[in-house]
Structure 1
Amino acid sequence: MKPFLLLLVGLCAALSGCLMSREARVESDYSFAGQFRRYRTYEFVTGEGITSDTSKLGEAVRDAIRTRMKVQGYRPARRRPDLLVNFRLFEGSMRFRGYQQPEFSRWVKTGYAEGEDTPADQRQGYSPVRMLLLDGTLLVTLIDNETNRAVWNGYASGVTVPNGPQGEVILRRSVRSIFDQYHVFTEGYLEQN
């Protein structure tokens, strides 16, 4: 009877882990000034905190981001990358300002990007939305290296990261879910493959 009980407890724990990872709220917002069609290379921001974290969890996030960037045609570049990638895992609930915007892939298809010379009457304008993000938010930010401005934020809220290998799996799934919001392949990549 004990082996059956252990199997049942293990199965319940595994299912609850899967359910917890699926409950994460995943959203994104972007800059109308983003030149999404011209970005081809990237590099990670280095510094303090999890971005410099060499633990298995930090490396799992970087590996998952590298995989998605490669799948979408982006190449790593240490010298003068088009995009800088930054990520952070926040603990606890937090208030976050996002934006109500046209669907991202439709915006990118237009090929339009606002610039300094865009007349005021032709600017999109941002409609801020205040959100309460649940305990555990993974935020990925893409920064235009030339302008030094964030052009895209993707975030998964409600990400519970347990210790050990299960935490790595949950972070990788969260990164995949976040990048499912970023439907941009480098120009010509799909025709080549």
Structure 2
Amino acid sequence: MKIASLFLVCGLAAGMAGCSGSESAVVVGSDQRGDANQATNAYSSVPSTASSDAVDFSKYKTYSWASQVRDEGNTVYFLNDLVFKAMVRDAVDHEMVSRGYTYSPSGGDLLLNFRVFDQPTEIRSNENLGNGYWGTSETYAYNPRNQVKLDRGSILVQMIDRDKSVEVWQGYASGLTNGNAFDKDKNKVYTAVGQIFNKYEYRGDKL
């Protein structure tokens, strides 16, 4: 797992495009189960994932949303903004479909969940994700190997192997801010989600 300091990136970018106090650079990262190249990062000491945990991503063809994503009235994890939640969901959906995955209302090979954080957050377990983030029927334990610190203005996307109830991939973007607020600009949100999925190297078809 490798994610750079937002402050460092902001400083390096200043010479090229500037990094104002009202708009920060977006930093992305990802982790996957069985990635033997995972390394420690500046936020926490995380052991490399054992190669024996490797996952065959070619077997995944379909995906479903976690229950809290399907619940159109649940805005707890999206700054109490239903429009913003739909925006992020549509951006993630676009990335999955563009990679050849087929949406299934239930029973998909992959169970997808996501949420946003407006404040710095450290994810070490399901408790850090929030009560109710996973439904009672979505038995899953957060992989401590994938612990990560997120800066202000973050989007976290997770993929769960439904049959095995294990996380196989997560991606995240930090620094999506405008001043002290989460930047909800649609173009920027779509760009950030696209940058997250640039870290995902697999497809649901044979292309």
Aligned to 2:30: 28
Which position in structure 2 is the counterpart of 1:135?
152
Stretches of 4+ moved more than 3 A in 1? 126-132, 161-164
Structure 1 unaligned regions, length at least 5: 1-14, 98-125
Match of 1:43 among 46, 59, 64: 64
SS in 2 for 1:135: coil
> 1:118-168 CA deviation, whole Å, 9 max, x = no partner?
xxxxxxxx995875421122100011111111110100112216589x522
Amino acid at match of 1:75: T
Give 1:24 shift.
1.5
Q: Give the letter aligned to residue 76 of structure 1.
A: Y
Per-residue CA distance 1:79-121 (angstroms, 9 max, x = gap): 3100111001012112346xxxxxxxxxxxxxxxxxxxxxxxx
Is the 2:118–2:182 Cα contact (8 Å) retained in structure 1?
no
| Aligned twin of 1:177 | 195
Aligned counterparts of 2:201 and 2:146: Cα–Cα separation in 1? 22
Query: 2:101 is matched with which residue?
Result: 74
* Bigger helix share: 1
Provide the alpha-carbon RMSD of the alignment: 3.0
- Secondary structure in structure 2 of the residue aligned to 1:92: coil
Cα shift at 1:74: 0.2
Residue 89 in structure 1 maps to residue 110 in structure 2: no
C-alpha separation between the residues in 2 aligned to 1:43 and 1:129? Answer: 22
Higher relative contact order structure (alpha carbons within 8 Å, sequence separation ≥ 6):
1
Rg bigger for which structure?
1
SS in 2 for 1:37: helix
Distance 1:130 1:163, change over 3 A: closer
- Normalising by structure 1, report the TM-score: 0.63
**Counterpart position of 1:186:** 204
Could you tell me which residue of structure 2 aligns to residue 148 of structure 1? 165
